[in-house]
Structure 1
């Protein structure tokens, strides 16, 4: 959900933009700021006298003039999000309070699905967050070790690689007969095949016994 600061930044960024759609959070956060300042300014004008009241009146009028355009634009975008056109905003001409009540009741409802004014902004934000999370989990190439990874393979932990390197290589002198050499070669081949089919967690190095596992049992992170 859009935060208060994000809503204010978005509304001023789209100062003259009445096209597209706006979520409930974008609209109501800006309305909260707008109405709080308006009510505070009116209260201070009546609570003070003389030059102080005049200063509050000037500040109030400047704030109103500066925010009336983005307030109108975000209201139109919010009406678009509910499936209404900008013409509904002119209901305010029937009466300021009656029109505002009708529009704000309509703006309470959640976003519609994709409509003529664009795609659902709430779902677009969720989709973008999911894509960013998925992108951050995609492994990258390690140039130092010249090891790459695709979707079906996992990195071998450094400890396991060190153990394999530290094992002494078998030579012809260590095998007395051809039969023993053949047996050792078959054994080594089977071990290598089994080793290449093993999966390891790329975060903690834990061996994953279940080839269909999605999460690591040790650290709980997604493989």
Structure 2
């Protein structure tokens, strides 16, 4: 199987453009199902699906679109699960305190249900959230261990700044478990296996 590598000029253009695509110097994913490579230009649904499928994978990279769509998902999920708690504790509670026993029971149950949902939501998202932060740092060619500085007060601002950065092709060094690139009709443009080569025929 042979490979045609992108020229140095093309790699430089990709680095400067900040908008890498599949294959090429950045070796991005060709499809959303390739969870071993970053999916540049991911949609909300694709990002959330990949977030859970990669729930315990700390090697590899995550694109900016994947990362920030997931942050939106986490905000929306937190808000949706917190609303019942808010209603039970702050809206129904005053009327319950007036001596209305049924309302008191209802507000307590609603607040408890909301708290339980919020806890379950974050329990399900804690590990994949840590993993995607780790991989996003890899995508800018930084060690994922930098995320640990969020344990220091105010130092987390630095991690946010890092996650906003454009990807760097050198971050491919963190793709320890990536499979060989998939063949595509225009594979010769991106350094993926060239269909029809002698070695490719032998592979088939």
* Fold similarity call, TM over 0.5: yes
Q: Report Cα offsets for 1:101-150 as digits up to 9, x if no partner.
A: 2212211111011233149x9xxxxx96xx63538xxxxxxxxxxxxxx9
C-alpha distance in structure 1 between counterparts of 2:118 and 2:77, whole Å: 8
Measured in 2, the distance between the counterparts of 1:15 and 1:26 equals: 13
Task: Tell me, in whole angstroms, the C-alpha distance in 1 between the residues paired with 2:174 and 2:186.
Answer: 29
State the secondary structure of the residue aligned to 1:109: coil
Mapped pair 1:101 → 2:141: no
Partner Cα separation in structure 2 for residue 43 and residue 9 of structure 1? 24
Q: CA deviation at 1:41?
A: 2.8
Does residue 55 of structure 2 align to residue 15 of structure 1? yes
Asked if structure 1 preserves the Cα contact closer than 8 Å seen for 2:87 and 2:110, the reply is no
Task: Please say which structure displays the higher CA radius of gyration.
Answer: 1
- Separation of aligned partners in 1, 2:186 and 2:158: 42
Determine whether 1:32 maps to 2:72.
Answer: yes
Alignment root-mean-square deviation, CA: 2.6
Instruction: Provide TM-score, normalisation by structure 1.
Output: 0.51
Q: Structure 1 residue 36: deviation in Å?
A: 1.8
1:21-74 CA distance string (max 9 Å, x none): 110011111111012211343344123231111101101100100011001000
Matched, 1:77 2:117: no
Q: In structure 1, what is the Cα distance between the partners aligned to 2:152 and 2:84? A: 29
SS at match of 1:114: helix
Partner of 1:134: 186
Deviations 1:185-223 (A, max 9, x none): xxxxxxxxxxxxxxxxxxxxxxxxxxxxxxxxxxxxxxx
The runs of 4+ residues in structure 1 deviating greater than 6 Å are none
Which runs of 5 or more residues in structure 2 are unaligned? 1-40, 89-106, 188-195, 197-204
Does 2:110 correspond to 1:52? yes
The 3-state SS of whatever aligns with 1:88 is helix
Alpha-carbon distance in 2 for matches of 1:43, 1:55? 10
Aligned ranges 1:65-214 → 2 under 5 Å: 65-95=123-153, 98-115=154-171, 116-118=173-175, 132-134=184-186
Conserved in 2, the CA contact under 8 Å of 1:89 and 1:99?
A: no
Q: Equivalents in 1 of 2:155, 2:126: separation in Å?
A: 16
Paired residues, what number? 127
Q: Which has the higher contact order (CA 8 A, sep 6+)?
A: 2
